[in-house]
Structure 1
Amino acid sequence: MTRDEAALIEPISREEMQRQVLDWTAINSGTANLVGLATLAGRLADAFAALPGTISLEEPAQVESITADGELAPVPHGRHFVLCVRPDATRRVLLTGHMDTVYPADHPFQASTWLDADRLNGPGAADMKGGLALMLAGLAAFEASNPRLGYDVLINSDEETGSASSARLIGELAPGKLAALTYEPALPGGGMARARPGSGNFAAVVTGRAAHAGRNPEAGRNAVVAAGDLALRLHRARHAALSINPARIDGGGPNNIVPARAVLRFNLRPRDPDEALEARVLIDRFVAEVAAEHDVTIAVHGGFGRPPKPIYPGAERLFDLVSRAATDLGETLAWHDTGGVCDGNNIAAHGVPVLDTMGARGDFIHSPQEYVDMASLVPRARLTALVLHRLDRGGLA
């Protein structure tokens, strides 16, 4: 590491990041809690105002979802935070994170508790309010180096539910970027993610025919049975390159009525783009077979909101740059393919090299045992600053 690089990262300290994490985890920002999201967005705007550039809160795109009754209904979302710095720069990067958590406003997990001197148990502490704090600290240190590199920061309000209302923003901000850094927490043990599968969420609305279950059941067409048949066919079709999870069936009613409506929700995770295409063909085939055999109609809603994220040469160059920076900071990174998905999938689909586990260390995310290792904030913020500095000075050559 050069003398200038050492001077760049030296001012980064834990105190302000720790204060921000404690402040932000005290705000419930479950994806559906629009009041909490608005409050947190305001706090983020205040904090990121320390950086140059223009801050805006972008309106979410309209999103509809299938209800338990099989009807389409609008789903409200919070606004998305965007910071634009040096928009006319020749080379620009994208940094992304999310302000939402998986804990709704009425969830019992609402407060943070210290487990020891470094580990903070709190809602969204690792995923990803700790990541947002260290992103900001890294950017602030980077700005002290008089950089030429431009960047956009996107902090969306719906990543935990698939980024449906922010996908358009990702599609506008990602193309043409030199690289992207996403602040999902590190993998358990501190590892970095490489390849990820895609993810598709679907709802199959099955419409049969009601009838009296005792007097003339043969006149009915049982939508719950048809939905169950479709679930079993999907479950049996899973294999190493395609995870399929039938997750829920809504439908039915009184015991004396043949149910006329059911909704099957399922998730598919293909490992590569070809598998995603084959998965869609598989869905269409099973739907046609079940509809014919049970004499029902089936309408499938949804799609692959997260494309598969294979590793291309540009991503390998970014990984190498980050690995060298981590080594210079005294840390050896472990790299793993993972089964999870995130906004890194959507960014990579635009041909942009992305590293999507630049956030804090921690564990047990999406559970009341979630914690962030506060001791990881300074090293990861320094990694951000050093990576951006080297992208500024040398690119990905």
Structure 2
Amino acid sequence: MPTLSDVEQDAVNRAQAEPMLDQVRAWSAINSGSRNLPGLERVAGALADAFSVLPGELTLEDATDVEQVSENGATFTLDHGRNLHLAVRPDAPVQLLFTGHMDTVFGADHAFQDLQWLEDGVLNGPGVADMKGGLAVMLAALKAVEAVPGADRIGYEVVVNSDEEVGSPGSAALLARASRGKRAALTYEPSALPDGTLAGARPGSGNFSIVVNGRSAHAGRNPEDGRNALLAAADLALRFDQLRRDGLSVNPARIDGGSPNNVVPDKAVLRVNLRPRTPELQADAEEAIAAIVAAVAAERDVTIHAHGGFGRPPKPMTDDMLKLFELVKQAGADLGQPIGWKATGGVCDGNNIAACGVPVIDTMGVRGGKIHSMEEFLISESLGERAALSALTILRIAEGRL
């Protein structure tokens, strides 16, 4: 029967003893919807206070500028919250990355604001699983590792961003910078299933706003002089839909624009999401988008500008990633926690980290479920389980088992 070393057992015990549930309840009581900048600032301050017990340099970094497209096709800069960044022992021989997010999908005006116990050990509340619980698990594991011999061999960066739920546009550069030179990364999204199953391969995700500029004209007197932007946007949507195939989903989601019935509309904006499962399919999709835009622009005599891109690259299962999964699986077995994994259709910051060449497991957070709904729940006993799993995983990576 596998046993833990004395150092491993000490770290596990310390991680499990941390007051994670109290932290989750306090952090989840602060609304931190992705667009609630005052709420994000409050929770960032609370997290900075909590993570300041770790050594290293902690900062709250401004988001990079993010360009958005309005309903009338104009571009503007959208503000995002600050991101927590902690760098510990950058010269240590083993360098790791730990990431999470402070934002939720529930805005300040959303009906879902309060916490309640659904039953013994099952806590319902905004962000309890996704991912205030994961942040508590991360902190508990790092505090435990810092308290045992050998911690000086481990260097790491922590990134807790404020915009993950909207695609991490303002923190992507920080994530890429923090990924450099890392042996492995752990991200604390909730488990893929309530039983603790991890997410394996993930598709990529691209969001595009296609702005069409046509020409207005009187719909009765001289419609032939107009260039109907709404029809061009609809044409684009139908052609995008034809790109669907195995491994590539396409969702034309919305068309903004139009005009009074007696005016040929000269402006429209198509919003579309594409999800390729491999980098090759992403490259094919990018070529197809360019070709479709050029064809519709020429055939309908309109001007088209495509804004956006694949903010989440595909995350296929690589050999290095499989080795990391196997290490976590063995750590789980030694703790009495069966660990499996499965491919999933969602995306997260793990996609971006993997694209930097770093093996990552992005569902090291709590067991729970029904995220992004008012039924979101956290299984409270999983806080100790997952903190122990992370602490043991970190120590074993540091030992050179990866």
TM-score bucket (shorter structure): over 0.9
Deviation at 1:12, TM superposition (A): 3.3
Deviations 1:116-143 (A, max 9, x none): 1211111111110000011111111111
1:136 to 139, 155, 160: 139
1:119 to 115, 119, 122: 122
**Which stretch shows the higher mean deviation, 142-151 or 257-266?**
142-151
In the other structure, the counterpart of 1:58 is: 61
Contact 1:199 1:306 in 2 (8 A): yes
Q: Name the SS for the 2:159 alignment partner.
A: strand
Deviation at 1:48, TM superposition (A): 0.9
Contact 1:14 1:377 in 2 (8 A): no
1:383 to 367, 379, 389: 389
Deviation at 1:394, TM superposition (A): 2.4
**Which stretch shows the higher mean deviation, 292-301 or 382-391?**
292-301
Q: TM-score, normalised by structure 2?
A: 0.96
In the other structure, the counterpart of 1:339 is: 345
Contact 2:16 2:388 in 1 (8 A): no
In the other structure, the counterpart of 2:325 is: 319
Deviations 1:313-346 (A, max 9, x none): 2111111110000000101112101111111111
**Which stretch shows the higher mean deviation, 11-20 or 303-312?**
11-20
| Matching of residue 254 in structure 1 with residue 260 in structure 2 | yes
Q: Name the SS for the 1:229 alignment partner.
A: helix
| Matching of residue 231 in structure 1 with residue 237 in structure 2 | yes
Q: Name the SS for the 1:203 alignment partner.
A: strand
Could you tell me which runs of 5 or more consecutive residues in structure 1 were left unpaired when the two chains were aligned. none
In the other structure, the counterpart of 1:268 is: 274
Deviation at 1:395, TM superposition (A): 4.3
| Matching of residue 39 in structure 1 with residue 45 in structure 2 | no
Contact 1:31 1:158 in 2 (8 A): yes
Q: Name the SS for the 2:80 alignment partner.
A: coil
| Matching of residue 151 in structure 1 with residue 137 in structure 2 | no
Contact 2:100 2:160 in 1 (8 A): yes
Report the number of matched residues: 396
In the other structure, the counterpart of 2:101 is: 98
2:310 to 296, 304, 311: 304
Q: TM-score, normalised by structure 1?
A: 0.97
In the other structure, the counterpart of 2:292 is: 286
Deviation at 1:269, TM superposition (A): 0.9
**How far apart in 2 are the matches of 1:270 and 1:29?**
30
Q: Name the SS for the 1:12 alignment partner.
A: helix
Question: In the TM superposition, what are the counterparts of 1:153-168 in structure 2 within 5 Å?
Answer: 153-168=158-173
Look up the equivalent residue of 2:186 and give its one-letter code: L
**Which stretch shows the higher mean deviation, 141-150 or 67-76?**
141-150
**How far apart in 1 are the matches of 2:379 and 2:399?**
31
Deviations 1:70-89 (A, max 9, x none): 01100001111011111210
In the other structure, the counterpart of 2:9 is: 6
**How far apart in 1 are the matches of 2:259 and 2:127?**
38
Contact 1:192 1:334 in 2 (8 A): yes
Distance 1:14 1:149, change over 3 A: closer
Deviation at 1:248, TM superposition (A): 1.0
In the other structure, the counterpart of 2:83 is: 80
Q: Name the SS for the 2:399 alignment partner.
A: helix
Deviation at 1:198, TM superposition (A): 1.1
Deviation at 1:16, TM superposition (A): 1.3
**How far apart in 2 are the matches of 1:14 and 1:131?**
16
**How far apart in 1 are the matches of 2:206 and 2:193?**
24
Deviations 1:142-164 (A, max 9, x none): 11113121111100111111111
Contact 2:219 2:263 in 1 (8 A): yes
Deviation at 1:14, TM superposition (A): 6.4
Q: Which runs of 4+ in 1 moved over 6 A?
A: none
Distance 1:15 1:388, change over 3 A: closer
Deviation at 1:358, TM superposition (A): 0.4
1:108 to 96, 106, 111: 111
**How far apart in 2 are the matches of 1:123 and 1:389?**
32
In the other structure, the counterpart of 2:369 is: 363
2:250 to 241, 244, 249: 244
In the other structure, the counterpart of 2:22 is: 19
**How far apart in 2 are the matches of 1:259 and 1:20?**
53
**How far apart in 1 are the matches of 2:344 and 2:397?**
26
In the other structure, the counterpart of 1:185 is: 190
Could you tell me which runs of 5 or more consecutive residues in structure 2 were left unpaired when the two chains were aligned. none
Contact 2:327 2:401 in 1 (8 A): no
Contact 1:77 1:165 in 2 (8 A): yes
Deviations 1:155-191 (A, max 9, x none): 0111111111111111111011010000011012321
In the other structure, the counterpart of 2:301 is: 295
Q: Name the SS for the 1:322 alignment partner.
A: helix
